[in-house]
Amino acid sequence: MLKEKLESNGATVIMTRETDQDVSYPHASSSEELGARVNIASDAEADIFISIHNDSFTSITAAGTTTFHYGDEESVELAQCIQKNLVDELGTMDRGTRFGSFYVIRYAKMPAVLVEVAFISNPEEELLLASTDGRSKAAESIFKGIVKYFKV
């Protein structure tokens, strides 16, 4: 949904993967696999790197949206743009933008964020994430955040 929205508005989108399949070689370590994803973005000379996830926790009451950055000014700005739109559109609890040392945002050579849209371990948020409307709102929110970041 997000890819199509971006492309229909003139962006070139490079997906590091579109299924739950590794992009590195068989039996690669976690860091080799994550490094391969970062390399795809670097080789494409991407302007930004966005890693989209759903959070999980042992408690079913954990809830909300978080967007992580590695601390550089541009990544912080991108995180803030995306986070605000997601929380406003989805109505999820705002867990804020936070520093995170995740491999893909730490080693990306461009502004990079890791988005935790909502908690799949929370029954209400799981329903949101499973619904076409919820996924569509998430995609639209991230799209609007990207547009705001680029000031288009």
**Residue 128, domain extent:** 2-6+49-150
Measured distance CA(105)–CA(59) in Å, rounded: 27
Assess if residue 16 is contained within a domain: no
Assess if residue 40 is contained within a domain: no
Closest alpha carbon to 69 in 99, 108, 92, 36: 99
Q: Which CATH number does the domain housing residue 81 bear?
A: 3.40.630.40
Assess if residue 70 is contained within a domain: yes
Average pLDDT, stretch 85-108? 98
CB 74 within 8 A of CB 49: no
Residues 37-79 pLDDT 10s: 999 999 999 999 999 999 999 999 999 999 999 999 999 999 9
Assess if residue 27 is contained within a domain: no
Assess if residue 33 is contained within a domain: no
Place of tokens 């803030």: 80
User: How much is the pLDDT for 22?
Assistant: 84
Q: Note the pTM of the prediction, 2 decimals.
A: 0.94
Residues 25-39 pLDDT 10s: 888 999 999 999 999
User: How much is the pLDDT for 23?
Assistant: 86
Bridging pattern class, strands 94-99 and 65-69:
parallel
Assess if residue 104 is contained within a domain: yes
Bridging pattern class, strands 49-55 and 94-99:
unpaired
Assess if residue 36 is contained within a domain: no
Mean pLDDT of the chain: 96
CA distance readout (Å), 67 to 18, 64, 105: 21, 10, 11
> What is the number of domains present in the chain?
1
Measured distance CA(4)–CA(8) in Å, rounded: 6
CA distance readout (Å), 42 to 18, 36, 37, 123: 18, 10, 9, 37
Assess if residue 122 is contained within a domain: yes
